[in-house]
């Protein structure tokens, strides 16, 4: 929405979507999204932009959180760590989000904690 607009129905300028990674930020295509295997390869940015008629940005949830923390900052560098059902990070270097050569910076992947641990929903153990 337009900041400070007095219009009761301000125009939508764009849409931002934050999802668990990994995904292709540059193309807006989902890849092996944690917990949503049926979305693998789905061109979310293109589908939403076509449907809504506005620009769409798709990024990892950890990158979006790191970007939010960096907004209005002094251009510093830090790692935002997310510990939940998954483990990931958003990296800020010199005030800008760093995604890496293949947009995988900050992705820890599936981590086995206990080799003979309980079954995971992905089919592995631990």
CA 22 remoteness from chain centre? 8
Q: CA-CA distances (angstroms) from residue 111 to 32, 46, 53, 122, 124?
A: 15, 32, 39, 12, 10
Residue 123: is its pLDDT beyond 60? yes
So where are the chain's domains? 16-110
- pLDDT band, very low/low/confident/very high, at 1 (cuts 50, 70, 90): very low
pTM, two decimal places? 0.76
pLDDT in tens, 4-20: 555 545 688 999 999 88
pLDDT in tens, 53-83: 999 999 999 999 999 999 877 778 999 999 8
């Amino acid at each position: 929405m337009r900041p400070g607009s007095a219009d009761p129905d301000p125009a939508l300028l764009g849409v931002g979507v934050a999802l668990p990674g990994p995904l292709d930020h540059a193309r807006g295509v989902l890849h092996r999204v944690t917990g949503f295997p049926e979305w693998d390869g789905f061109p979310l940015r293109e589908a939403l932009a076509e449907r809504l008629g506005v620009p769409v940005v798709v990024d990892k949830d950890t990158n979006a959180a790191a970007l939010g923390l960096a907004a209005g900052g002094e251009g510093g560098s830090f790692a935002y760590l997310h510990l939940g059902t998954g483990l990931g990070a958003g990296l800020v270097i010199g005030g800008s989000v760093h995604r890496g050569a293949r947009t995988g910076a900050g992705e820890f992947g599936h981590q086995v904690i206990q080799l003979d641990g309980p079954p995971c929903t992905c089919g592995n153990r631990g």
